[in-house]
């Protein structure tokens, strides 16, 4: 169930059954010659909505712009500063907590968000621990889950793509978006076939090291069929992971 498609009465009724919610979070940044700029937001959103439609789970609007300063050398990329993204996360959690939500499952699609999201969680916990939050508020729990880190996804992407999977504009993430949006599949030459790898600093340096935007990948191997396999592998594991979290076990 998407929060945006509910009435407030329906959300109140949901809160009587569950106080857990999934919040997809991603990024809006270049993904090489054949990947969508929305890849990192579209992947967790697609997976979260599938879980939300299959089970009685509420899914918040996607936080679609993340920490992507290193991609600003490529047209269409948008970034929030880490401090801005932390504020967005804190305000989102605190708003939902006002109504009684206490368990926040952030399903993440972008490696560059991890440090900032984790720091935002620490700020949220510090507000409670330092006594600045409303004393009537139940303790809040926030969890970050990177969809690409799921065991089933990792082993499948290794099996399907091996070393061509890469680190950015990966075969797996491009495949998953192709499965979600098959009418937008793109074809492009990859030269070299497997992109270079290296460290990430600021935007100009990134563009020099990784001229077409990819890091270590050959997403020409991405396909709708691979995306479908990855989707099913991810959904099975995510559903269980979310259940364990909302039950307080994880
Ligand atoms: Ni990505």
> How confident is the model over 101-134, as pLDDT tens digits?
999 999 999 999 999 999 999 999 998 888 766 6
Tell me the CA distances in angstroms from 84 to 39, 91, 110, one per residue in order.
Answer: 21, 11, 16
- Average pLDDT of the chain is 96
Query: Which pLDDT band holds residue 249 (cuts at 50, 70, 90)?
Result: confident
Instruction: Write the pLDDT tens digit of every residue in 82-108.
Output: 999 999 999 999 999 999 999 999 999
Ligand 1 mean position, distance from CA 199 (Å): 16
Confirm if 153 and 233 have CB atoms less than 8 A apart.
yes
* Of 156, 223, 167, 218, the residue nearest 192 (C-alpha): 218
pTM (whole model) above 0.85: yes
* Of 59, 117, 57, 126, the residue nearest 89 (C-alpha): 117
Distance of CA 173 to the CA centre of its chain: 11
Ligand 1 mean position, distance from CA 101 (Å): 29
Non-local CB neighbours of 224 within 8 Å, separated by 6+ positions: 175, 178, 179, 182, 185
Alpha helices in the chain (DSSP H): 8-17, 39-54, 82-98, 114-129, 151-161, 171-180, 203-209, 224-246
Confirm if 238 and 150 have CB atoms less than 8 A apart.
yes
Residues, CB within 5 angstroms of ligand 1 (ion): 39-40, 173
Residue listed under structure tokens 């490696």: 111
Ligand 1 mean position, distance from CA 95 (Å): 28
Position 133 scores a pLDDT of 61
Ligand 1 mean position, distance from CA 116 (Å): 16
Instruction: Write the pLDDT tens digit of every residue in 17-68.
Output: 999 999 999 999 999 999 999 999 999 999 999 999 988 999 999 999 999 9
Instruction: Write the pLDDT tens digit of every residue in 188-198.
Output: 999 999 999 99
Ligand 1 mean position, distance from CA 52 (Å): 22
Ligand 1 mean position, distance from CA 166 (Å): 11
Question: CA–CA separation, 54 vs 49, rounded Å?
Answer: 8
* CB neighbour burial string for 194-223, b if at least 16 within 10 angstroms, e if fewer: ebeeeebeebeebbeebebbbbbbbbbbbb
Q: In the structure encoding, which two tokens stand for residue 109, read together?
A: 């699609």
Ligand 1 mean position, distance from CA 212 (Å): 14
Confirm if 77 and 28 have CB atoms less than 8 A apart.
yes
Mean pLDDT of 5-15: 98
């Amino acid at each position: 169930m998407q929060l945006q498609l509910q009435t407030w009465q329906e959300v109140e009724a949901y809160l009587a059954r569950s106080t857990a919610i999934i919040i997809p979070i991603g990024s809006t940044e270049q993904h090489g010659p054949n990947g969508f700029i929305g890849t990192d937001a579209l992947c967790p959103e697609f997976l979260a909505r599938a879980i939300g439609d299959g089970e009685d789970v509420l899914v918040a609007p996607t936080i679609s712009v993340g920490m992507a300063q290193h991609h600003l050398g490529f047209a269409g990329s948008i970034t929030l500063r880490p401090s801005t993204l932390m504020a967005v996360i804190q305000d989102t959690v605190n708003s939902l907590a006002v109504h009684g939500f206490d368990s926040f499952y952030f399903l993440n699609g972008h490696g560059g968000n991890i440090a900032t999201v984790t720091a935002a969680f620490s700020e949220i916990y510090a507000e409670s621990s330092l006594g600045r939050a409303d004393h009537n508020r139940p303790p809040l729990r926030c969890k970050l889950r990177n969809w690409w880190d799921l065991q089933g996804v990792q082993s499948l992407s290794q099996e399907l793509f091996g070393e061509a999977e890469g680190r950015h504009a990966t075969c797996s993430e491009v495949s998953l978006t192709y499965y979600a949006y098959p009418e937008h599949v793109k074809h492009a030459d990859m030269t070299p076939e497997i992109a270079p790898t290296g460290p990430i600093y600021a935007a100009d340096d990134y563009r020099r090291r990784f001229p077409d935007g990819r890091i270590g990948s050959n997403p020409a191997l991405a396909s709708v069929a691979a995306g479908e396999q990855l989707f099913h592998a991810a959904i099975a594991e995510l559903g269980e992971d979310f259940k364990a979290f909302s039950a307080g076990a994880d």
